[in-house]
Structure 1
Amino acid sequence: EVYKVLLQLAETINLVAPGGEPVPVTRLKPGDEVLIYVEKGGRHFGMKVEETVVER
């Protein structure tokens, strides 16, 4: 499946590569693979928040 996310462009925001190493958002390139965890709602500074986004 394909998922879309909104991420802040900052050195302090990291994702996780399949090998477990952190990947800064600022170093992501098209085609890079990262691990995801699907849950309802979202996160802000690591804290779970209940929000929705409506794309138009």
Structure 2
Amino acid sequence: MMMEFLYFPEDKSLYIPSVIMLIIFMVGAAITMYLIKKASKKEEEKWKREYDDQLE
């Protein structure tokens, strides 16, 4: 029984656009994570400066 909804092209060059899109999205995700971590670190330092003296 063949699964007809799966399509694997014989011409492997049809995979190239998909691989390029995958790489673009992976790079975008990595850049986004870096920016979020950087902003989070900045917020943490700001919070420590404002509230550190109240904790002691």
Query: For the superposition of Structure 1 and Structure 2, which TM-score range results when normalised by the shorter chain?
Result: under 0.3
Which of the pair is proportionally richer in strand?
1
- Of structures 1 and 2, the larger Rg is shown by 2
Q: TM-score, normalised by structure 1?
A: 0.17
